[in-house]
Amino acid sequence: MEWLRQLPRRLRRHARDRWQPTAHSVGREPDYRFSLANERTFLAWIRTALALLAGGVAVVQLVPTFSIGWARHLLGVALIVLAIAIAATSYTRWERRERAIRLGDPLPSSILPRLTGLGIAVIMILALVFVLVDVARGHR
Amino acid sequence: MNGPGWQPPHPAEQLDPGLQSERTFLAWQRTGLGFAAFGTLLLRNAFEGHLVLAIPGLLILLAAALLTARAQRRYRVTVAVIQLARSPADHRAIAGTAALATALCLAGLAVVLLL
């Protein structure tokens, strides 16, 4: 709810940000170590998305079926949706951080680590439930 | 050490003291390998009956090869740019990689839902 109440302000800020100059022209040339660290963090997120994506495809196409027919598809789609969320926001995240580094501002916060941790935990618990259901039913 | 015949190293061969550029280069390589691994997974599925997947699989392998080759070149550029005290940030490469990853994820969702 808190998030919903903040939405208008977020949208206004987003609209204002659109008119700001691109990140590589604001502020001053930063310490190269910060830029490279930001770049490596971006790449680590991309690799996380790729790993989730590969896991999602593999769980549907390589794992033998659970006794619940739609279980594999639920796990696969959930993994890939998480991967899409990470990949689709990765450039904006890099750009906001690069801007903050150049302006000497504090780094903007992100809900993505919390979202990713929560998402993976939920998917793992679902997988555990599906396996336990299989064991209980004596399904191979 | 600086005897006769000594020449200062080429600007692109003086590494930064924390080896940040090398770690970044390796991060790009790992990302390229990640793309290649997913391309291989698609190709494997292509051989098991879903022949449509051969096209995206090969395209991704090509993109992974380009990414890795570019990482090599970018490494030298980064080392040289650091010497000039300029920012090594390259928003085009970042945007391209992000777009490629997003397209791949959407393609993966289509594969899971349709095949």
List, for residues A79-98, the tens digit of each pLDDT value: 999 999 999 999 999 999 99
* Minimal C-alpha gap between A60 and chain B (Å): 7
- pLDDT class of A50 with cuts at 50, 70, 90: very high
Task: Give me chain B's average pLDDT, please.
Answer: 87
The DSSP-derived string for B41-68 is: HHHHHHHTT-GGGHHHHHHHHHHHHHHH
Whether the Cβ atoms of residue A95 and residue A23 lie closer than 8 Å to each other: yes
The DSSP-derived string for A67-80 is: SSTTHHHHHHHHHH
3-state helix, strand, coil in chain B (%, to 5): 75, 0, 25
- pLDDT class of B4 with cuts at 50, 70, 90: low
Q: What is the pLDDT of residue A1?
A: 59
* Minimal C-alpha gap between A26 and chain B (Å): 12
Distance, in Å, from the CA atom of A47 to the CA atom of A42, rounded to the nearest integer, reads 9
Q: Is B11 on the interface with A (CB under 8 A)?
A: no
Q: pTM of this prediction?
A: 0.84
ipTM value > 0.90 = no
Q: Is A40 on the interface with B (CB under 8 A)?
A: yes
Pick the residue from chain B with its C-alpha nearest to A98. Answer: B89
Chain B residues within an 8 Å CB radius of A44: 27
Give B42-93 pLDDT, tens digit per residue: 898 888 888 888 998 999 999 999 999 999 999 988 888 888 888 888 889 9
* Minimal C-alpha gap between B94 and chain A (Å): 7
Nearest by CB: A87 against B45, B78, B102: B102
Distance, in Å, from the CA atom of B94 to the CA atom of A137, rounded to the nearest integer, reads 48
Q: Is A77 on the interface with B (CB under 8 A)?
A: yes
Chain B residues within an 8 Å CB radius of A37: 20
Nearest by CB: B97 against A32, A38, A46: A46
Would the CB atoms of B109 and A47 count as touching at under 8 Å? Answer: no
Neighbours of B112 (CB within 10 A): 21
Q: What is the pLDDT of residue A29?
A: 83
